[in-house]
Structure 1
Amino acid sequence: MKILIIKSKDSSRFYQGNSYIRTDGIFATERFIPNLEFIINNKLIENNEAQESYFNCKSVRKIELPSTYPILIDDPSEYLPEKFEEHDLVIALGIHEDILMELPKIIKKSEGKALIVPLESREWLTKWVREKTIEECKKYNIQYAFPKPFCSLEFGEFDVINQFINKYRLGKPKFRLQIDKEKVIIKAEVLINTPCGNLYDIEKELCGKKLGEEAREVVARYWHKFSCLGDVHIDPEVGDTIVHIGGHIHYSAIDTSDITE
């Protein structure tokens, strides 16, 4: 599977002024890309193609866009190539909405198959633009997912996105836990890691903890320690903050674990 990551350059925070906006590259730069690099370099995927480093890996490429734009972009094609490098899946993180809507057409032209648009902030994407982008995906027969947040990504109807979850073991977190007769965890294994990479740290701390509340407390402690980058403001569409949703997704990883004795 060939992945193309499209991200904004780093910025300290999302900012909207009178005539321009600043997009958010922090999650991609500080969380997702380092986690993907770790997965590839440590051979945590099947048929690993990386022999030295992530940036030499033929299966993953990236396009880095500016972090500051006019509020409305008259010609989004100015920021994008006419065609992308060969790929199966585009992952677009924190880019301008007008540019996002251009992606399905270019993905189709480039013989790509799927688009994932994670939403770590209510500022990344309006409901209207999401629906218009989905219309464009359907028009060009592009598979799609808009997980809010990225760690809510689950298996669904689209085979390429399912292959991504399977190959890289990324999405809604899941453990395999081996317990003894007293329900104490004697072995923990990450089956699906969060895109930010937090579950590998939690995994190391679960052994010796009792299944249930004690194990959930470990998840809570290391989720807070890792510092989720999800939006801390109420998202009107979901009636909660994205950071709060991300926390509950992490806590539920214990309750939905595969348990063996």
Structure 2
Amino acid sequence: MDVSIFFSGEFGRRFLLNLAYPEMCPKLGACGIDACDYCKDYDFSSKIVMAEEFADPSSYGIYIDDPSSILPEILDGDVFIAINLHPDILVELPSIVESYKALIIPVEDPRWCSPGLRNQIARHCEEVGIEFACPKPLCTLKPETKFISKFCEEFRFGMPRFEVKLNDSTILNAKALTDACGCAYYVAKKMAGYWIDSKENFWKEIHQHQCAYPCLASMERDVEIKESPFHLGGYAMVYSFSQAVGIDAPEFIPHHMREFLNFAD
């Protein structure tokens, strides 16, 4: 599958770097140049047909009269990913990229795409026959439709999943199977050698590494999830890694957050 990425801001730059230039991971500052062991064994640069960086949405003012006037010619592709773009651009995207099979609009910050705008875009995508996902944050993306599922499989993308080898209560090694921004690879590397003495300390350790990557999801409270996207991303990471070692984590995740992780009570 071929992907186009239109973005603004630091998260968009990190997302593109992680997808297309994994060997440049040390630039993110997580492991550091000296400690990098190049654990990301992929390179999807040949699958990216367009990568366009835009100015911050606020620089365009409240309204953009003609969004198409600031967009380049759209090349053919399969999945279109729009990160932190002006609302007037987002709302027109289903028509602009109608030759694509799927549109993904991550919401790392509640200001990026309001629930009302998301619903409007979803209706428009349905009208033109494009699959649509608006994960909040991106690491909660679930492969629920045909082409988005294919994208997640081919790009090892979405909510974190891990493969972990244990010796009694010690983690011998861990490998990220799916990831959204590179954080899962960092967590997997840092958890190698950890001795699990209690669930509480284990969960705290995972969460500390997620924070240290660092996670760029907003800490601003979101009206839908009733906490910040940052915290939901943390719950996703801890829950997924816990599952990989055979530890269920129901009490770690607040009840009001579980629906966003497809986690039943």
Residues 102-128 of structure 1: CA deviation (Å, up to 9, x unaligned): 1111211xx211100000001111111
Q: Distance in 1 between matches of 2:41 and 2:125?
A: 31
Unpaired segments ≥5 residues, structure 1? 9-24
Number of the residue aligned with 2:183: 198
Q: Distance in 2 between matches of 1:60 and 1:223?
A: 30
Of Structure 1 and Structure 2, which has the larger fraction of its residues in strand?
Answer: 1
Question: Which of 74, 84, 88 matches 1:98?
Answer: 88
Aligned pairs (5 A) from 1:212-251: 212-251=199-238
Number of the residue aligned with 2:11: 27
Number of the residue aligned with 1:13: none
Q: Distance in 2 between matches of 1:91 and 1:76?
A: 17
Number of the residue aligned with 2:114: 126
Number of the residue aligned with 1:189: 175
Question: Which of 118, 141, 148 matches 1:153?
Answer: 141
Q: Is the 8 A contact 1:104 1:140 kept in 2?
A: yes
Q: Distance in 1 between matches of 2:245 and 2:60?
A: 46
Number of the residue aligned with 2:254: none
Q: CA RMSD in A?
A: 2.1
Q: Distance in 2 between matches of 1:208 and 1:161?
A: 35
Question: Which of 139, 164, 167 matches 2:127?
Answer: 139
Give the drift of 1:63: 2.1
Give the drift of 1:170: 1.8
Aligned residues: 228
Give the drift of 1:5: 0.1
Question: Which of 64, 67, 77 matches 1:73?
Answer: 64
SS of residue matched to 2:5: strand
Aligned pairs (5 A) from 1:166-185: 166-180=153-167, 182-185=168-171
Q: Is the 8 A contact 2:49 2:75 kept in 1?
A: no
Q: Is the 8 A contact 1:79 1:99 kept in 2?
A: no
SS of residue matched to 2:97: helix
Of Structure 1 and Structure 2, which has the larger fraction of its residues in helix?
Answer: 2
Q: Is the 8 A contact 1:122 1:235 kept in 2?
A: yes
SS of residue matched to 1:120: coil
